[in-house]
């Protein structure tokens, strides 16, 4: 059976790390003309304010470790709204193609005859690197970057850390805050030295960003509380991180204007 043909379209848009001036121009334009906006919990109020007053705004949740709307519900809701003839924007924190489930949503919509378009955004690792002054790749130290999640389906800790043995790869690890000690053990067992420089960055790219520095062997001690999403960066480039105006310390906290 051929899928139904729907004239509407859904834009799958990256909201970046939170600051409105880090949106792409295309993302800002689409948000500004949206008739229905389905947004993740991490999308900032500053960005939501760009939507028209008459826009239907629906928070879908989608934050690690917290209750959120089921993916199947989000899929059906997007389809229902576009069938009503609305201009639908599905707004995701960071970049939709990096742990944003954009493939699942795109496949569902295409299967129902709905055209989609992905609009990229700044992901947390890039935001953290820019904010705290370190590169993700660096001549003589890091030739590759591995974007990975610490958790797999149903919250289980990932078990294949073969990439950790590559000493020339920077590891950018998402959703690892609650399993930092186990993550450290697995990475060391996979071949990464316990002395490898490590960073924990909370709320990357926002004025509330916080940075903790250490080494892989003490990853569990780099706790920053539960104030926001935490990214781990493992590799020699972590030694280059700095917070302007502050001295190097085990824990740095700052507000960036």
Q: What are phi and psi of 105, to 5 degrees?
A: -70, -40
Residues 102 and 143 in one domain: no
- Residue ending a domain, choose from 75, 104, 119: 119
Shared-domain flag, residues 104 and 156? no
Please report, for the domain that includes residue 32, its CATH number: 3.40.1010.10
Assess whether 91 and 141 both reside in one domain: no
44, 19 contact by CB (below 8 A): yes
Do 157 and 39 fall within a single domain? no
Q: Would you state the pLDDT for residue 112?
A: 94
What's the pLDDT at 108? 97
**2 within domain boundaries:** no
Backbone angles phi, psi at 33, to 5 degrees: -115, 5
CATH number at residue 220: 3.30.950.10
Q: Are residues 108 and 154 in the same domain?
A: no
Mark whether 40 is an active-site residue: yes
Q: What per-residue confidence (pLDDT) applies to 247?
A: 37
Which pLDDT score is estimated for 255?
31
Half-sphere exposure of 88 (CA within 13 A, CB side): 28
Same domain, 83 and 114: yes
Same domain, 24 and 134: no
Query: Rounded to an integer, what distance in angstroms lies between the CA atom of residue 47 and that of residue 14?
Result: 11
Q: Pick the catalytic residue from 21, 57, 62, 239.
A: 62
Clarify whether residues 114 and 130 are in a common domain.
no
Question: Of 119, 135, 150, which residue constitutes the final position of a domain?
Answer: 119
Annotated catalytic residue: which of 9, 40, 92, 95?
A: 40
Q: Using an 8 Å Cβ cutoff, are 175 and 101 in contact?
A: no
Q: Quick check: is 4 in a domain?
A: no
| Contact indicator for 123, 93 with CB cutoff of 8 Å | no
Please tell me the distance from the alpha carbon of residue 159 to that of residue 194, in angstroms, as a whole number.
Answer: 18
52 and 156 housed in the same domain:
no
Domain range holding 156? 124-253
User: Residue 121 is encoded by which pair of tokens?
Assistant: 């955004």
At residue 156, the 3 state secondary structure works out as: coil
**pLDDT at residue 178, as a whole number:** 85
Number of domains in the chain: 2
Return the exposure string of 37-47: e unless at least 16 CB atoms fall within 10 Å of the residue's CB, then b. Answer: bbbbbbbbeeb
Residue 94 CA to its chain's centroid (Å) = 4
Q: Distance between CA 148 and CA 133 in Å, rounded? A: 21
pLDDT in tens, 108-147: 999 999 999 999 999 999 999 999 999 999 999 899 999 9
pLDDT at 35 over 70: yes
Active site residue 62: yes
Mean pLDDT rounded to a whole number for the chain: 87
Question: What pLDDT score does 157 carry?
Answer: 73
């Amino acid at each position: 059976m051929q899928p139904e043909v729907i004239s509407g379209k859904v834009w799958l848009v990256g909201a970046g790390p939170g600051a409105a001036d880090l949106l792409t121009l295309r993302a800002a334009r689409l948000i500004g003309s949206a008739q229905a906006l389905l947004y993740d919990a991490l999308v900032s109020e500053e960005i939501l304010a760009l939507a028209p007053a008459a826009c239907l705004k629906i928070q879908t949740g989608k934050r690690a470790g917290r209750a959120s709307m089921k993916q199947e519900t989000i899929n059906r809701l997007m389809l229902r709204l576009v069938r009503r003839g609305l201009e639908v924007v599905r707004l995701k924190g960071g970049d939709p193609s990096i742990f944003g489930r954009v493939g699942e949503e795109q496949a569902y919509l295409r299967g129902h005859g709905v055209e989609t378009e992905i609009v990229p955004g700044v992901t947390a690792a890039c935001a953290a690197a820019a904010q705290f002054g370190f590169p993700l790749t660096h001549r003589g130290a890091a030739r590759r970057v591995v974007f990975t999640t610490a958790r797999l389906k149903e919250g289980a800790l990932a078990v294949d850390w073969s990439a950790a043995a590559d000493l020339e790869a920077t590891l950018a690890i998402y959703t690892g805050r609650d399993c930092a000690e186990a993550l450290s053990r697995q990475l060391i067992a996979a071949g990464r030295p316990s002395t490898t420089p490590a960073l924990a960055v909370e709320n990357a790219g926002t004025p509330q960003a916080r940075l903790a520095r250490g080494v892989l062997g003490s990853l569990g001690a780099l706790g920053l509380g539960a104030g926001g999403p935490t990214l781990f960066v493992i590799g020699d480039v972590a030694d280059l991180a700095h917070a302007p105006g502050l001295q190097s310390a085990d824990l740095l906290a700052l507000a960036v204007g």
